[in-house]
Structure 1
Amino acid sequence: MSMLGEFKAFAVKGNVVDLAVGVIIGAAFGKIVDSLVQDIIMPIIGKIVGGLDFSNYYVALNGQPASMTLLEAKKAGAVLAYGNFLTILLNFIILAFIIFQMVRLVNKVRTAAAPAADPETTILLREIRDSLKK
């Protein structure tokens, strides 16, 4: 089989297609969670903490004045953008929790839907019974 034929056989396997669909849906779902965190959760947390935008929290490493926005401070030199990190960390935690819940649900459905396998002795006894009937 040629390399092109092998690649075609590999690419059309169910697992590869399933993986591609999963990656695409995962990327779209990640954008939804990112929007949830940045547009809904972080503003509420910022309001509770002190009315500030978390994404602009930083520590200037080159002596930039604290009154600058994060973008201005980055242009002026190195900064430690811990507010942006906190936002992304919260985004990850929420996404990981939702994916965990989805996997948990799928595992419950699989265990409930999968019939219990017959033990080997039961199968053998059925075969003997069927052969005796003949």
Structure 2
Amino acid sequence: MLKEFKAFVARGNVLDLAVAVIIGAAFGKIVTSLTDDVLMPIIGKIFGGLDFSSYFVALAPIPSTYTGSPSDYAALKKAGVPLLGYGEFVTQAVNFVIVAFIIFLIVRSVNHATTRLERNRPEAAPAPDSAEVALLREIRDELKARPR
């Protein structure tokens, strides 16, 4: 079983996948920062608030024991108040759209590069016929050439 595992790990696909996951995690942090720190404040400003991710609707009354701000999404959520956090959902949806668009651009550029390489590749010369095929062709040609 250990030999099978070593063979599995030694295949290039596993290493490629590991690198992709690591790069994807780092890329996810960049996109999260882009949306949280750049895009969402701009979108929030357009819609009249500076912190769009804190937009929510309370689905139940706030408990009387709660001492924090009634507009603090994180504190209310921590206190167990059921909330419909549509601002956070919009933030995550924007994250997804950005990541999906960038992945689309990467796949598109790879497809274009692959197509360009295939177009510029010279046509391979046909493989020479084997001796058997050449002999069979000679026999066929001789049979055709015989008078009937």
TM-score normalised according to structure 2 size: 0.75
Q: Which has the higher helix share?
A: 1
Where in structure 2 are there 5+ consecutive unaligned residues? Answer: 64-68, 130-148
Pairing 1:103–2:72 present: no
Aligned residues: 122
Equivalent residue letter for 1:98: I
Shift, 1:68, TM fit: 2.4
Give the equivalent residue in structure 2 for 1:59. Answer: 57
Percent of paired sites with the same residue = 54
Give the equivalent residue in structure 1 for 2:5. Answer: 7
Any idea what SS the aligned residue of 1:123 has?
A: coil
CA RMSD, Structure 1 to Structure 2 (Å):
2.2
Shift, 1:41, TM fit: 0.3
Give the alignment of 1:1-134 within 5 angstroms: 3-64=1-62, 67-74=70-77, 75-114=79-118, 115=121, 118=124, 123-124=126-127, 127=128
Runs of 4+ deviating beyond 6 Å: none
TM-score normalised according to structure 1 size: 0.82
- The 2-side partners of 1:97 and 1:46 are apart by 22
Where in structure 1 are there 5+ consecutive unaligned residues? Answer: 129-134
Rg: which structure is higher? 2
Shift, 1:76, TM fit: 4.7
Shift, 1:70, TM fit: 0.2
Shift, 1:51, TM fit: 2.8
